[in-house]
Structure 1
Amino acid sequence: MEMLRATYGSDSEEDDADDSAAAPPIVGSRSSSGSSRSKADSVNGRSNLEQLDPLPPPPLDLLQSPIVLDFSSTTQGSRIRSFPHVEGNYALHVYVPVVIPTTMKMPVALFVKRIASLVPGLYAVDIDYPLAELCRDDLKLEQMLLGREFHVSLGRTVPIKVHQIDSIVAMLRQKFQSQRRYRVEFNKWDVFVNDEQTRSFLALEVLGGGLSEITKQIHIVDVIYRLHGLPEFYKNPRPHISLLWGLGDMSDGLKQGIEEIDRSYKNASLSCGGHIFTCKTSGIECKIGKKTYSICKFLD
């Protein structure tokens, strides 16, 4: 309080005398002799201060907890981590990379355009770009959505401690070192909803070739997760690649859209119950935080 009085002045000579004795000169004050100012100087100084514009309030974002953007449940156009961010934790994801063959992009693009006309509010997975805008430009649609790498998950995306990273990567590489290349068939369009019911995905599911191989690889990852105290994958895994997402539980609308397109193209390659595309797997990768680890390259 004494320092405040020394800066802004006081209402009586007695106060000024007390301040002069108790408070040292303040560096940067408006008076060169703050400890011996007269009452007139004090009043003038206070008047000058009162004429200055008041300081603006602090930004609201300084009063709020930061939001960590990442994979899972979502607000408009941005992804938010489904588990709380903790300093020293890293998100772990083990997967098989998948690229849609060039010759198969056209039928997939036609399906995506049709679903965009039936179900509004969809976004491209990972890049979070509005599907309606992508569909206005065929080149954008092919490059930004269909030209990127997708993934078939072999385990849940979970938080791990920094000291677990080397052990997990080493075990994954040891267990998968002799894996053989196999062909994956994506046979069906279907809808998946995350555990929190905050995000829906339009995906291509594996029902034919590659299903048994992927299922075995999921069991291997489960063993490694279990040894590190991590939650295992779903009991009845349904391997798939996700292409689009939307907010909330959109399963009813998306399934109706799929059924309508299926009826329209019942005898074409777009049929949801038929063969959509196949590809050869190249290996297994693991993403921890922002770093990607090559676990293995499949043998021919």
Structure 2
Amino acid sequence: MVFQCRRKRRWKNMSPKQDEEEPQTEDSSLHGGRIRSFKHERGNWATYVYFPYHPEEEFEELLEELLSAAASHGVVLTPQEEFHLSLSQTVVLRHHWIQPFMQSLRAGLTHCKRFVCSAGRLRVYCNAERTRTFLGMEAFTGHAQLLDLVRVIDQTLTEFQLETFYKDPSFHVSLAWCVGDLTEELKEITKELQSLVDERDDGPFHLNLDCAELRCRTGNKTFRFSLEA
């Protein structure tokens, strides 16, 4: 049975939990040639909602093999610094919106239950600006629960007149990226790369996410939202 996230408007007295704060930097040399999707302005906070993935040793070994195989075909990929499954696009929050945004999001998630989802099929993605190409691993379980969460998150985004998530999302964990649009080059070798995922000694590799704690990162702050057991 697919759970329903029942939204309640009792959020004025709820305080979101902020657990992490990271230093911000604007040194473009630290971004590997990546191009911003929007101009950085003081008071604007890049914001997105996601489930984190904490790599296992087997995943790290597989990723090394995938990068090596891609490089042998002339496609040099950079591994992600951290791994996650996105449930929103990256939007811009004004600083004074942060607290009410998090309160609204927490209220909407009140009755959402935790679950597990798994990914295993490699797919190629490119951003809207065609400035970066990604190798990702698409989820094959938990799709209905992820869609329910997106509906809740979209309601908060709509309240703040921000762009909602994709209409037909491909839920995935990005593994690695490169600058520019190398979609065709990566697609040509996807079958070979997929064989590295499927033909493991212990059977096909499945990336399993314990979807128990949703997170929202805005600028250098990360807010955490525990789902019901």
Would the TM-score normalized by the shorter structure come out above 0.5? yes
Deviation per residue, 1:213-236 (Å, 9 max, x gap)? 111111111111111010111111
Question: How many Å separate the matches in 1 of 2:27 and 2:128?
Answer: 18
Deviation per residue, 1:88-129 (Å, 9 max, x gap)? 211111111112333444334323322232243321224xxx
Asked which structure has the greater CA Rg, the reply is 1
Question: How many Å separate the matches in 1 of 2:163 and 2:27?
Answer: 22
Q: Is the 8 A contact 1:155 1:232 kept in 2?
A: yes
Kindly tell me the number of residue pairs found equivalent between the two proteins: 203
* 2:117 alignment partner, SS class: strand
Deviation per residue, 1:36-70 (Å, 9 max, x gap)? xxxxxxxxxxxxxxxxxxxxxxxxxxxxxxx9568
Find 2:145's aligned residue among 213, 223, 227: 213
Pairing 1:234–2:166 present: yes
Deviates more, 1:238-247 or 1:274-283: 274-283
Q: How well do the aligned residues superpose, as a CA RMSD in angstroms?
A: 2.6
Pairing 1:255–2:187 present: yes
Pairing 1:187–2:116 present: no
* 1:78 alignment partner, SS class: coil
> CA, structure 1 residues 199+75, in 2 after alignment: closer, same or farther (shift >3 Å)?
farther
- For structure 2, the residue ranges without an aligned partner over 5 or more in a row are 1-24
Q: Give the TM-score of the pair, scaled to structure 1.
A: 0.61
1:1-300 equivalences in 2 (<5 Å): 68=26, 77-126=32-81, 149-206=82-139, 208-262=140-194, 268-269=199-200, 276-294=206-224, 296-300=225-229
Question: How many Å separate the matches in 2 of 1:248 and 1:214?
Answer: 29
Name the % identity: 28
Question: How many Å separate the matches in 1 of 2:127 and 2:150?
Answer: 18
Deviation per residue, 1:243-297 (Å, 9 max, x gap)? 11111110111111112334x5596149xxx653323223101111111111x12
> CA, structure 1 residues 266+113, in 2 after alignment: closer, same or farther (shift >3 Å)?
closer
> CA, structure 1 residues 266+233, in 2 after alignment: closer, same or farther (shift >3 Å)?
closer
> CA, structure 1 residues 117+224, in 2 after alignment: closer, same or farther (shift >3 Å)?
same
What letter matches 2:76 in structure 1? G
What letter matches 1:268 in structure 2? E
Q: Is the 8 A contact 1:94 1:287 kept in 2?
A: yes
* 1:180 alignment partner, SS class: coil
> CA, structure 1 residues 76+256, in 2 after alignment: closer, same or farther (shift >3 Å)?
farther
Q: Is the 8 A contact 2:35 2:131 kept in 1?
A: no
Q: How far apart are residue 76 of structure 1 and its match?
A: 7.6
Q: Is the 8 A contact 2:49 2:215 kept in 1?
A: yes
> CA, structure 1 residues 229+255, in 2 after alignment: closer, same or farther (shift >3 Å)?
same
Question: How many Å separate the matches in 2 of 1:83 and 1:265?
Answer: 36
Q: Is the 8 A contact 1:172 1:224 kept in 2?
A: yes
Q: How far apart are residue 77 of structure 1 and its match?
A: 1.3
Q: Is the 8 A contact 1:107 1:269 kept in 2?
A: no
Question: How many Å separate the matches in 2 of 1:152 and 1:266?
Answer: 19
Question: How many Å separate the matches in 1 of 2:39 and 2:150?
Answer: 25
Q: How far apart are residue 298 of structure 1 and its match?
A: 2.7
* 2:34 alignment partner, SS class: strand
> CA, structure 1 residues 119+205, in 2 after alignment: closer, same or farther (shift >3 Å)?
farther
Question: How many Å separate the matches in 1 of 2:70 and 2:37?
Answer: 27
> CA, structure 1 residues 76+250, in 2 after alignment: closer, same or farther (shift >3 Å)?
farther
Between Structure 1 and Structure 2, the one with more strand by share is 2
Partner residue, 2:12: none
Structure with larger RCO (C-alpha < 8 A, sep 6+) = 2
> CA, structure 1 residues 210+119, in 2 after alignment: closer, same or farther (shift >3 Å)?
farther
Q: How far apart are residue 87 of structure 1 and its match?
A: 2.3
